[in-house]
């Protein structure tokens, strides 16, 4: 049996490999951007634990991963790897190692507060831009400490680009951020539109011009939000692709999904999760699958979070968040959740719960390309736990644990055009997490993250670093 597992691992290119191995090209080569220079220059070895590589093959037991210069240089059975004498060793015995998780749909500007109409005015009244910057820094740190080494942020004012850049420079500790900045919509208004930086358009030409403006500002992706026409989607996609940017669309109703699909939108977000319609037609599902168009369901953020909180409301009083947020922010969030079951955000949850299982299973059972994203930061959907909850939903709905982990790592990396991420193999960026438990037996082991390595640097666990001195949030916000 052991020989058979080793043969399978070798067949999946998971034994000790040469550093010459190169990541494959993406679905659109022009959009596969190179990774920024790695910040970790030292040698590091993670040794002794079970290794899940991000591929859907058996794990490698008692494995070692070698890292140098922020890159993985070797990965395989410990018996086949020699650890250099000058390497720092992190003992992962009795634990599981896997690629850093990728959040395909997050929002750094929110921290789980119950009402957008109260949260964004509160930020304005309590420091304005300085408080908004602090909130985004806290969210980015939460994600990283939860094992999320990369986040696709799909809605925020352009100030998020400063947070992204300071993380990349090592000035603050946080997840790697790929940001859309403001989303593009038609006819939207209110606190949500303003707080997330949404920008309305009135024609396809204006939509294309808005894409050009955002691309010139330095965004990483484009977010197409609500109210858009078929012509708008096509104009947004065409303009974004000219800049080498991918487009994520906020779509629920079948007509909007169809318009986004035919408009060449790259990623279909939210599909099937909001109870806006029964499961999609067989024709639409078939066309999505045949097109190889990725879907990110964001299933848990209402239809599972609500009953989970009803069963265990104590989850709202997370002591780690209380310590991280400080009394001012934590107190405001707690006040907003006092009567959480009455929040407007959850007023259609009964309908969403009616369709929730069919909404997820229609994509799992059809063989669609499925990424993993959560809408993290939305009411009661804390960055520190959103992704493992989303992964658990997919597993409960029939996705195998190894496929679910691949969706949150390797597949997500392909979806966002970052093929240097998402798997543990030579030549890849060294984003690795260590969890206490076997997620193939119990996927909730992903909630017990003990070590986080990003770009070859240990940010959580033994030998964790602190950021270099930098400007404070207040000064950075000026």
Domain boundaries, the chain: 2-99+423-460, 101-415
What is the tens place of the pLDDT at every residue in 276-294?
566 899 999 999 999 999 9
> Which residues, given as ranges, of the chain have pLDDT below 70?
1-41, 274-278, 465-478
Q: What is the pLDDT of residue 274?
A: 60
At 99 the three-state DSSP class reads strand
Same CATH topology for 2-99+423-460 and 101-415?
no
Q: What is the pLDDT of residue 15?
A: 32
Distances (CA, A) of 237 to 193, 230, 276, 310, 337: 21, 11, 25, 41, 38
| Contact status, residue 178 vs residue 218, Cβ threshold 8 Å | no
Q: How many CB atoms are closer than 10 A to CB 48?
A: 18
Distance CA 443, CA 458 (A): 23
Secondary structure percentages of the chain, helix, strand, coil, to 5: 40, 15, 45
Q: Whose structure tokens read 């909630």?
A: 447
Chain centroid to Cα 252, Å, comes to: 20
Distance CA 212, CA 201 (A): 13
Q: State the pairing for strand pair 432-435/449-454.
A: antiparallel
Domain 101-415 has CATH 3.20.20.140: yes
Distance CA 96, CA 390 (A): 20
Both tokens of 96, joined, read: 């599981």
Q: What is the pLDDT of residue 347?
A: 86
Q: Residue 395: phi, psi to the nearest 5? A: -65, -45
Chain centroid to Cα 437, Å, comes to: 22
CATH superfamily of 2-99+423-460: Urease, subunit C, domain 1 (2.30.40.10)
Closest Cα partner for 275 from 298, 258, 259? 298
């Amino acid at each position: 049996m052991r020989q058979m597992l080793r043969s399978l691992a070798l067949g999946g290119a998971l034994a000790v490999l040469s550093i010459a191995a190169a990541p494959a090209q993406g679905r659109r080569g022009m959009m596969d951007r190179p990774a920024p220079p790695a910040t970790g220059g030292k040698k590091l070895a993670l040794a002794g634990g079970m290794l899940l590589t991000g591929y859907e093959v058996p794990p490698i037991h008692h494995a070692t991963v070698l890292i140098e210069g922020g890159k993985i240089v070797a990965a395989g059975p410990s018996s086949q790897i020699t650890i250099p004498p000058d390497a720092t060793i992190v003992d992962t015995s009795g634990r599981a190692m896997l690629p850093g998780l990728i959040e395909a749909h997050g929002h750094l500007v929110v921290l789980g507060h119950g009402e957008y109409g109260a949260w964004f005015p509160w930020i304005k009244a309590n420091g304005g831009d300085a408080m908004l910057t602090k909130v985004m820094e806290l969210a980015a740190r939460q994600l990283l400490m939860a094992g999320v080494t990369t986040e696709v942020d799909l809605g925020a004012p352009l100030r998020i680009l400063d947070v992204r850049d300071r993380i990349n420079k090592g000035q603050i500790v946080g997840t790697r951020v790929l940001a859309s900045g403001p989303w593009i919509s038609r006819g939207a208004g209110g606190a949500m539109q303003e707080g997330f930086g949404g920008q309305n358009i009135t024609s396809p030409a204006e939509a294309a011009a808005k894409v050009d403006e955002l691309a010139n500002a330095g965004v990483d992706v484009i977010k197409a939000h609500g109210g858009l026409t078929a012509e708008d989607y096509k104009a947004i996609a065409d303009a974004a692709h000219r800049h080498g940017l991918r487009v994520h669309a906020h779509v629920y109703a079948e007509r909007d999904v169809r318009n986004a699909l035919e408009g060449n939108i790259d990623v279909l977000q939210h599909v099937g999760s909001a109870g806006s319609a029964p499961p999609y037609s067989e024709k639409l599902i078939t066309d999505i699958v045949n097109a190889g168009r990725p879907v990110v369901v964001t299933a848990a953020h209402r239809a599972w979070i609500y009953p989970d909180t009803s069963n265990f409301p104590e989850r709202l009083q997370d002591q780690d968040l209380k310590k991280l947020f400080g009394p001012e922010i934590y107190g405001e969030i707690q006040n907003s959740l006092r009567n959480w079951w009455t929040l407007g955000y959850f007023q259609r949850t009964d309908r969403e719960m009616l369709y929730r299982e069919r909404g997820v299973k229609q994509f799992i059972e059809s063989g669609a390309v499925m990424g993993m994203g959560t809408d993290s930061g939305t009411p009661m959907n804390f960055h520190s736990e959103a992704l493992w909850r989303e992964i658990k939903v997919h597993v409960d709905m029939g996705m195998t644990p190894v496929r679910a982990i691949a969706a949150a790592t390797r597949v997500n990396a392909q979806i966002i055009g970052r093929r240097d991420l998402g798997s543990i193999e030579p030549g890849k960026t060294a984003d690795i997490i260590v969890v206490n438990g076997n997620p193939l037996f119990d996927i909730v082991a992903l909630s017990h993250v003990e070590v986080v390595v990003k770009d070859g640097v240990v940010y959580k666990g033994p030998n964790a670093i602190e950021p270099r001195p930098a400007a404070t949030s207040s000064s950075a916000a000026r």
